[in-house]
Structure 1
């Protein structure tokens, strides 16, 4: 029984009693000659394991089956299935499906292998921050209908850990229920598994996964808000041991997502580009710098001392030393053989300070806590400190090391990120020299800063651009996704904003395009 998304108690009953192919199919880890394929199959009865066949065909009707393989799964991995098939042809389209012991078949999925040698064109959709209770996945639905795509990239916050009671009534849709319900956020392995089951029951997300392969990486909400190697802002002592929770979150992610167990990886798109999947949350990230004491002191001297001290700590790292060394080596090697170095990153790298007059932009009825947060961030910005310590400009020495590695490799760097819920384009610089560009995408559904603003959105975006030299363009409202068009001499990004998330509606509200030319390493609009 394939699950739809009825919502409420009906969803709970379906998730707990469903059998057969329950959550569609997915694919990932693309190469020129192989692909990882995913499904979930729950047998009727109490069997501990089940064996499935997978078929790969050259045509959508499966008249020319080219590859068959057998794979086994069981309740020990939540009945999810992952199998890598090889012997495929570069730059080709295939269809795949799974077959159960009783002969029933899964839905079919479509895959595209990566090209080899010279490639003139590659198109990729980029998503982030899909909070299911906050809205319909219209961005996924719109993207799934495309025929001009080779790959999806999800840069994190594919799910959220919060219990439903943590959402304000105005922020959520009654039909979009998640489990575990009420005030129970995800803590144990069973919680994380059930949350993925809720999200993957969404038909638009199922359609997206079936339409093309996805490379995915986690951010913080796949575990807990503002997570790092040793803890998280949203992990308290009464929620048990952090290491146990972190392991449960990682296990469920690896079970439910079409991803290998390699923590980071490079994908070669012929001579056109190398795409990097990074990990910046649970393995090597050090704790975020704590600016709280400087805020409480209430003086610019305290903020300046923090800026010159803890904020500049060279031991602070987003990626950890092992991954930093790996990506430096990969840049040196791949910048000689591929035109573009595309880096999937969970958090924004571009330097962003809060504009000094941002407090005046806020709605009159905004909470005192939110107003204080903007006021503090503006005070920090006055001495050159970033808005948020949880992203790359909260780790300035690590950011410098990363960008210097790209410069020393003579790499044409394009960073693809999410996390902020709004849309941004940056010309990244290091030592006052161009280091690459960043296209940062808006959320699929999660609220952006526009809900707190009392002035015209265009004025907010203009204020951020004027206050931040690296920031070339911003749109601080609207949900959707990015489409990247990679060519040998140019990479273009298109931000696509959907009309709403509050009803199922694939109408496009507006679009924006920006690009970078080979060798320029600056945003061009």
Structure 2
């Protein structure tokens, strides 16, 4: 099932900059717009084609599907890429051109603090203060251009999946980086997995965030620690995603090349990644490939 989430019917994406007032972010207005059920990424016609409509007596293709695997291809990330609110300001400063050694050093220190707090929270550390917990549990969507900016429609989608008693495999791109996320509704119900491919040649977060090569894997660990749904990411390499489905499992291979600037190149086997899912879309094998 292939969707268009870029051109046909999407409402204009939200912009944090439009909610900044003299007193800071207008949280109430932002939340009201973010959760507005009238805002759409798919559009009514495409949504009804996929999910159906009881009012119009339309049976959607996902609802009627008898396939072993329900694969939904589309262009933007569906997973909740929610980050600590305080980190959003730091990332925004860098992506808007405010990069300097001092800025990067401060953000690195901030990320280290947040990761440490999140790990302590996950380990049930009773000494965490209310303020420390709030630093890693007060979350905001990072990319309003993706499904994160269309909260109500995504939840409607997930509600329909529960109604149909189905899970989905979402294929995505757009970000130029490689990701794996496990998708959950706001009620905590597991609805599927998202497999997102890197770009073939376009730069990704390593450029937009000016991440030094020596710190890339530190950033990747921070992302997968701080973002609850995110299980894997590769923030700097170019390549492709190969997904193989049979009657029992889903095999996903993220394959990267060592150079995009030379005619002579080879597969970089040092950072390849493989994910194997069973019939319930539960990981059977999840590993960094080294050969």
TM-score tier by shorter-chain length is: 0.7 to 0.9
Kindly report which structure 2 residues correspond to 1:371-386, keeping only aligned pairs within 5 A, or say none. 383-386=138-141
Larger-Rg structure: 1
SS of residue paired to 1:350: coil
SS of residue paired to 1:280: coil
CA distance in 1, matches of 2:180, 2:90: 24
One of 44, 60, 75 as aligned partner of 1:321: 44
Q: 1:280 and 2:11 equivalent?
A: no
Aligned position for 1:438: 194
Aligned position for 2:115: none
Query: Unaligned regions of 5+ residues in structure 1, if any?
Result: 1-275
TM-score, length basis structure 2: 0.74
Kindly report which structure 2 residues correspond to 1:10-409, keeping only aligned pairs within 5 A, or say none. 276-295=1-20, 297=22, 299=24, 302-328=25-51, 329-334=60-65, 337-354=66-83, 356=86, 367-368=97-98, 383-409=138-164
Higher helix share: 2
Aligned position for 1:212: none
Q: 1:517 and 2:278 equivalent?
A: yes
Q: 1:473 and 2:219 equivalent?
A: no
Higher strand share: 1
SS of residue paired to 2:195: strand
Query: Unaligned regions of 5+ residues in structure 2, if any?
Result: 52-59, 112-134, 287-291
CA distance in 2, matches of 1:288, 1:315: 13
- Cα drift, residue 354 of structure 1: 3.8
One of 245, 259, 262 as aligned partner of 1:500: 259
Mapped contact 1:317–1:395 kept (Cα < 8 A):
yes
Q: How many residues align?
A: 240
Mapped contact 1:277–1:344 kept (Cα < 8 A):
yes
CA distance in 1, matches of 2:173, 2:27: 29
One of 451, 458, 464 as aligned partner of 2:223: 464
- Cα drift, residue 291 of structure 1: 1.9
Pairwise CA RMSD of aligned residues?
A: 3.1
TM-score, length basis structure 1: 0.42
CA distance in 2, matches of 1:344, 1:389: 19
Runs of 4 or more above 6 Å deviation: 358-362, 369-372
CA distance in 2, matches of 1:523, 1:286: 38
Structure 1 residues 515 and 296: alpha-carbon distance in aligned structure 2, compared to 1, 3 A threshold: farther
CA distance in 2, matches of 1:437, 1:327: 18
Mapped contact 2:19–2:30 kept (Cα < 8 A):
no
